Amino acid sequence: MDDELIRQRKEAFRAHQALTPPRVLTSDGEAIAGAYRRDDLPAGALVGLPVSAGTIEGRARVILDMAEADLEAGDILVTAYTDPSWTPLFVAIKGLVTEVGGLMTHGAVIAREYGLPAVVGVEHATRLIRDGQRIRVHGTDGYVEILP
């Protein structure tokens, strides 16, 4: 019986890992969809929320699991989200892009404390930006450019 329960839970875990959560979920459980309305961006720019001012260019490091982080000084961290356990990574990076977040979320606050340009709420950033690509983060204006 225990083996069957373990198998079921592993299967459920794999199924849940494949899900993509909504970007905004209210406390009542309502998923809210929407799009940014910005006409002032360069073609192909990835739009998000400006949370820490400045503009920086560098190598994107797409990291989904902090335990597997392989950052070098000057990299730009691209991830789904951060929490306090990610803070040690901020000493090596020079910019931040996250898929979720707002002005008062962890990554935004730490980016401002460290003076790192940051854009959060960039939908599908970890899929649209490839690990190792050169990107430019416009933390003041809230968008990211993928460079040639």
What percent helix, strand, coil does the chain show, rounded to 5? 25, 25, 45
CB-facing half-sphere around the CA of 107: CA atoms within 13 A: 28
pLDDT in tens, the chain (148 residues): 689 999 999 999 999 988 877 777 788 989 888 788 888 899 999 999 999 999 999 999 999 988 888 899 999 999 999 999 999 999 999 999 999 889 999 999 999 999 999 999 999 999 999 999 999 999 999 999 999 9
Pick the catalytic residue: 16, 106, 124, 138? 106
Sequence-separated (6 or more) residues with CB below 8 Å from residue 78: 60, 61, 62, 63, 97, 98, 125, 126, 129, 131, 135
Query: Is 124 in the active site?
Result: no
Determine the pLDDT at residue 35. 81
Domain 44-146 annotated CATH 3.50.30.10: yes
Q: pTM to 2 decimals?
A: 0.84
Determine the pLDDT at residue 25. 79
Determine the pLDDT at residue 34. 79
